[in-house]
Each structure stands twice: as C-alpha cells, then as structure tokens.
Amino acid sequence: MRTSYLNDRQIHPAEFATWAGARRYHERHRRDRNVLDQLRASIPQDGIQEPLLLGVRERDGFVFVYEGHHRAVIALELRLPYFPLQWFIDPNIRSVQNQPFPQHLLD
C-alpha cells in the first residue's frame, strides 16, 4: 500500500485525531520514543517487518490503522513509498485478510 494514503483523509490513526498528533504523542513518551528510535534504525536496512493492520468499518467504509501506529509514523517520516499490510472488516478482527485491499475505499 502506498504510504501517501496514511493521511488524515484516507487511512486514519485509530487512537489519535491526526497523524501529527500521533507523532507528537509518541515523541513525548519515553517508551514510545524508544520504539520510534529502534524503528528509525532498523527500517532503512530491513524494511517494515510486521505489516500494519488496517480496519475497515463496515457501516461506512472508514479506514484506520488498528495496529502499527509506531511503524506508520516512521514510514511517513522516512517517506517510504509503500508499507505492508493486513486488513479486516471491523468489528470482525478474527477475520484478518491477506487478500488485496478494497482500494476503492481510498479513492
């Protein structure tokens, strides 16, 4: 998936109002800042090793990052062209998909 979709209109951060807010929160808390630092060091060499988990809200098609906010923040910071993902239709998290994402939801 193109990293450019990680924005405040298409793929939203689940726990924060904006991606800038997610970044600020993680930078302010030592444990989160340490995770970001580790990802800054490893992703340029190894890429994103664990896919981001995206949720798609069934009732309205709202797309959000369910797991992987730290990885998403660093993917944006490093301007990676793409990120790996898995996805599910919310609220059925037990049915994680590796199949192609329904791209029309982002257009």
Q: Where are the domains of the chain?
A: 3-106
Residue 2's DSSP bridge partners are 82
The per-residue pLDDT for range 4-19, each reduced to its tens digit, is 999 999 999 999 999 9
Mean pLDDT of 20-48: 97
Residue 94 reports pLDDT greater than 90: no
Mean pLDDT of 54-79: 96
Residues in the chain: 107
Closest to 105 (Cα-Cα) out of 64, 66, 76: 64
Q: What is the distance between the alpha carbons of residues 71 and 62, in angstroms, rounded to a whole number?
A: 20
Q: What is the value of pTM for the model shown? A: 0.92
CATH 3.90.1530 fits 3-106, yes or no: yes
